Amino acid sequence: MELRASLNHLNVTTPDPAAMAAFYCSTYGMTQASAGDAIVCTGPGRVVALTRGPANKLAYAHYTFNDTPAWLAFRDRVPGAAQIDVPALARPAPDAVAIKDPDGNVIVFSPPDIASDVEVRADDMPQAILQHFALRTTQPQAMLAFYQSLGFVLSDEVHDPTGAVRACFLRTEHLHHSLALFGAPAAGFDHQSFETDTWADMRVWGDRMAELRVPIVWGIGRHGPGNDVFFMVRDPDGNLAEISAEIEVCESERPAGVWVHEERTLNLWGKAIMRD
C-alpha cells in the first residue's frame, strides 16, 4: 500500500536565488514572491522555493498527505526520535514533521488540511504539475532502504552487472515515482519534473523553451522505468528541470521491476545522462 502522499514543493539552495527565480519564472510560467529567506516561484500546480546556499543541493522536499487516515498511519510509523526540527517552510503547513535521510536531505511531511492562501496566477500554458524529483547519492542501497522504511514503494530499480543498485524509482501514490535516486560520485539534487497531460502539451512547452532560447539538453525521449516521455533543460546552477507526460499509473500490488544499468534504460529512444 502506498503512503498516499504527493509532492507539495521543493526548496533548492543556490548561490544566486534571483537568477534562479528569474529562470523558473520565465521557463515554467511562474510568478515570484519573497517568503522569509526564500524566493518562492508559484504557478498552477507547481511551486519552487529558492534559498541562498550551495548549488545543486536540496534545502528540503515537502510532501502533503492526501487523506487523514494515511497521515495518521504515517505518524505512527515514524517515531518522534527520528524527527528533526521542521525548517522554515515557503508555504505554511501546521503540524508538519521533518526527517533527514542518510545523505542529510530534509524531507517534510504534512497532513492534508494544509492552510494555503497563495494566489496562483492562471496562465495560458498547458498543465505542468510538480510531480517528482530526483537525488544523486553515493549510497543508493542505503537511501533506498531508508525511504522504504518510511513507506515509499519501490516501482523499479536499476542494477549493475554485480547486482548492486545504481538507481531506483519510488512511489508515494499511484504514479510510478515521486522520488528517483541515482548513484553518482557525489550526493546532491538532480532534477524536478513537471507533468503535463498530453504529447501536444510537450510540444507547447518545447516551443516555449525555444522562444526563450533555453536549449533542451536531454530528450525528447522516453524513460524505461516510468515509461514517461520527457525532455530536460538546465537551470542556471546546472540542475536539470524536466517536462514529462504519460508517466505510468501503478496498481498497488505491482511487483517491483529490475532494469539493466545502460543508456537504453534511462532513455528507450537513445542517449542518456548516466550520472556516473
**Closest separation between CB of residue 130 and Fe ion, Å?**
11
Shorter beta-carbon distance to Fe ion: residue 193 or 265:
193
Question: 154 vs 15, 149, 183, CA distance in Å?
Answer: 34, 11, 16
Shorter beta-carbon distance to Fe ion: residue 106 or 167:
167
Contact positions with Fe ion (CB under 5 A) in 218-247 = 242
**For Fe ion, which stretch binds (CB under 5 A), given 85-93, 120-128, 155-163, 185-193?**
185-193
Residue with cell 515537502: 62
Instruction: For residue 267, state whether it binds Fe ion (rule: CB under 5 A).
Output: no
Which triple of cell numbers denotes residue 173?
A: 501514490
Closest residue to Fe ion, based on beta-carbon distance: 193
**Is residue 215 packed enough to be buried (19+ CB in 10 Å), middle (13-18) or exposed (0-12)?**
exposed
**Closest separation between CB of residue 229 and Fe ion, Å?**
11
**For Fe ion, which stretch binds (CB under 5 A), given 37-45, 68-76, 119-127, 190-198?**
190-198
Question: 14 with 3: CB under 8 angstroms?
Answer: no
Please say whether the dihedral angle defined by the alpha carbons of residues 256, 174, 102 and 262, taken in this order, is positive or negative: positive
**Closest separation between CB of residue 177 and Fe ion, Å?**
8
**Closest separation between CB of residue 253 and Fe ion, Å?**
24
**Closest separation between CB of residue 41 and Fe ion, Å?**
19
Shorter beta-carbon distance to Fe ion: residue 40 or 134:
134
**b or e along 220-233 (b: 16 or more beta carbons within 10 Å of the residue's beta carbon)?**
bbbbbbbebbbbbb
Upstream peptide bond of 220 is cis (omega within 30 degrees of 0): yes
**Is residue 139 packed enough to be buried (19+ CB in 10 Å), middle (13-18) or exposed (0-12)?**
middle
Shorter beta-carbon distance to Fe ion: residue 137 or 193:
193
From CA 109, how far away is CA 63, in angstroms rounded? 5
**Closest separation between CB of residue 206 and Fe ion, Å?**
16
**Closest separation between CB of residue 54 and Fe ion, Å?**
22
**For Fe ion, which stretch binds (CB under 5 A), given 66-74, 80-88, 193-201, 248-256?**
193-201
- Selected from 51, 193, 196, 267, the binder of Fe ion by CB under 5 A is 193
Shorter beta-carbon distance to Fe ion: residue 15 or 45:
45
Minimal CA–CA distance to 101: which of 52, 131, 135?
135
256 DSSP 8-state letter: P
Q: In this structure, what is the dihedral angle of CA atoms 253, 222, 199, 127, given to the nearest 10 degrees?
A: 60
**For Fe ion, which stretch binds (CB under 5 A), given 35-43, 48-56, 68-76, 186-194?**
186-194
Contact positions with Fe ion (CB under 5 A) in 11-30 = none
Residue ranges that bind Fe ion, judged by CB under 5 A: 193, 242
